Each structure stands twice: as C-alpha cells, then as structure tokens.
C-alpha cells in the first residue's frame, strides 16, 4: 500500500473526492468502480479515514459504508494507471451517472 501521509496536492497517484449521489456508494456504483479498476496494471485502492480497501472488489468497497457527502481517497500504485485514477474520480464526482 502507498504511504497515505503523502500530500494529495503532491501525489499524482492519489485523488480525494466527495460522494455526491443520494444513495452513496452502493452495489451498482461499486460495480462501476470495480469495472474500471479491473483494467489497472497496479493495485487500486479506496480509503475512508484509516480504512483502505481494494477498488477491484465490490464487497470490499461496500464495507466502507460511504454515504452522500463523505470524502474518499482513490489511489493507484503506478504512473501507468493515472488514467484509471482519473476515470474513477470523474465517475464519483458525476454521481456514478445516476
């Protein structure tokens, strides 16, 4: 896992986003994230506070219990996956298309 203490402004492999859709991070939205993350060459994680989970696992993401307005951090472990990071962040910021 990456060092979570690195400043988000200085780390191009990390992005903080806010859950904006009414239903929060639920099964359908987690499945959309997992579908994008599955194309990554490196590990993709999502964290809320001290909890860090695999973004390729729907079940793991659901354990975060993220409701509307909660902040999560998306991380990738390789520069090769910066586009994956951007796609997931955009998906979350756009309310998962809901």
Give the active site residues: 26
How many other C-beta atoms can be found within 10 angstroms of the C-beta atom of residue 2? Answer: 17
- For 52, list phi and psi in degrees, rounded to 5: -125, 130
Residue 45 three-state SS: strand
* Partners of residue 79 on adjacent β-strands: none
CA distance 81 to 83: 5
Place of tokens 């910021």: 93
Reduce the DSSP state of residue 61 to 3 states and report it. helix
């Amino acid at each position: 896992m990456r060092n979570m203490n690195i400043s988000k402004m200085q780390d191009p492999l990390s992005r903080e986003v806010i859950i904006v859709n009414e239903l929060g991070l639920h099964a359908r939205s987690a499945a959309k994230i997992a579908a994008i993350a599955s194309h990554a060459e490196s590990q993709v994680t999502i964290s809320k506070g001290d909890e860090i989970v695999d973004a390729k696992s729907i079940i793991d993401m659901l354990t975060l219990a993220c409701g509307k307005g909660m902040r999560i951090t998306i991380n990738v472990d390789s520069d090769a996956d910066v586009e994956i990071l951007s796609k997931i962040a955009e998906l979350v910021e756009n309310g998962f298309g809901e």
